[in-house]
A and B are shown apart, each in its own frame.
Chain A
Amino acid sequence: MSQASPQVRSDEERPLGSGPVLSTFAVLVGLMFVAAAYMVFFHAPTEKVMGFVQKIFYFHVPSAWNMFLGVGVAAVGSVMYLVKRTDKWDRIGDAGVELAVLFGAMVLISGPLWGRKAWGAFWVWDVRLTSSLVLVLTLVACKMVRGYAGAEAKKIAAGLAVFAVINSAFVYYSVDIWRGTHPPKLVATLAPAMKQTFWFSTLTFLIAFFVLLTLRLRTGRLQSALDRLHLRLTESGLDD
């Protein structure tokens, strides 16, 4: 029988960040989001040159940083998966890709909305937006590979993620020398109330990232556990 075989104790069996700790952080981050939004609209003064639309900045930049955090997680997970070939690293890589796409989508929606006012058009082939778009598109391709490629999807997706990360540097550099225009670096020149709002938003986004990452990794573990069970079911001949 199947239970006679020594069962590999997998980390999927252990609950991940469940219970009070995760719930506490989830509630905390929810409250912080509300507080951050309050600060954005009532604490931070309206910016002189760009006006009200500058308020997008307080969430736009943290989501861009979270996108890079996601890309970092994806890069580490993918490289480690290619080296070690353990499901754990694949799940981490996949979670990183997904979070990078999520926050990248926020960047790509809020950026053009800001640009509509600041540049007079939604899209002006700005360096950062363009390279973010290409990065997100490549990471979406990673998810599509996972969906369509079949048995070897994990390997292919991990390889593509490595390419995507390196490629984004090339795209950034290329668009940069092509356009030759930089948007100003804003963070250093902020008024105190703006600075407080900005860093509070950043902290909120940072915590949100890790809450979402934990949730996503748990989903991945459940999926792996399910795959294992299906495998055992087939092995033991109980499958239909």
Chain B
Amino acid sequence: MKTSLAIPTLFALALAVASAENARAQPADTSTPAAAATTKKPIPPGFEPIAGKEAQAESVSAPLLVVLAYGAFFLLTFGYVVHLARRQKALSDEVAALRQKLGKGGSGA
């Protein structure tokens, strides 16, 4: 049940980020490239050098789009693993508690 909430939430979050970028990118298309360069603020530190280097040769918003996309890939995967781990922990804790309540005779394992 919780997963059905977590994934749409992440999805909505990413969409919100994307649409915020859209709102900023629209005027950037018509204005100077320098204006669009300020939109690179949310880039994680690990990606900074790549984006900086490529940004000179490439159109300005491309690195941001790529970083957002790869951020989504890693964030979703990582988030899902964390979600599963937490859920498994909670479940096995509850299983252990119930086994204890039932007494050792009840457990087949």
Contact = CB atoms under 8 A, between A and B. Distances in A.
Give yes or no for direct A-B contact (beta carbon below 8 Å): yes
B84 A52 contact: no
A60 B73 CA distance: 9
B22 A233 contact: no
B68 interface: yes
A223 interface: yes
Contacts of A13: 108-109
Interface of A: 1-3, 7, 9, 13, 33, 37, 40-41, 46, 51-53, 55-56, 59-60, 63, 98, 101-102, 105-106, 108-110, 112-114, 116-117, 122, 140, 143-144, 146-147, 208, 212, 215-216, 218-219, 222-223, 225-226, 229-230, 232-233, 236, 238
A222 B88 contact: yes
Interface string B65-81: 11011101110110011
* Secondary structure class of chain A's binding surface, majority of residues: helix
Contacts of B84: 212, 215-216, 219
Interface in B46-104: 50, 54, 57-59, 61-63, 65-66, 68-70, 72-74, 76-77, 80-81, 84-85, 87-88, 91-92, 94-95, 98-99, 101-102
A147 B69 CA distance: 29
Nearest to A144: B4
Interface in B15-63: 15, 18-19, 21-22, 25, 50, 54, 57-59, 61-63
B1 to A, nearest CB: 5
Contact of A53 (B66, B72, B94): B66
Contacts, number: 140
Contacts of B87: 219
B98 A226 contact: yes
Interface of B: 1, 3-4, 7-8, 10-11, 14-15, 18-19, 21-22, 25, 50, 54, 57-59, 61-63, 65-66, 68-70, 72-74, 76-77, 80-81, 84-85, 87-88, 91-92, 94-95, 98-99, 101-102, 105-106, 108-109
B80 A212 contact: yes
B81 A215 contact: yes
A101 B68 CA distance: 19
Contacts of B108: 7, 9, 13
A222 B76 contact: no
Given A219-B91, A226-B91, A108 B11 contact: yes
Contacts of B101: 233, 238
A147 B1 contact: yes
Contacts of A59: 69-70, 73
Contacts of A63: 73
Nearest to A59: B73
| Nearest 9 CB-CB pairings of A with B | A143-B4, A222-B91, A110-B69, A52-B62, A229-B98, A52-B58, A109-B72, A53-B62, A113-B65
B11 A226 contact: no
B92 to A, nearest CB: 6
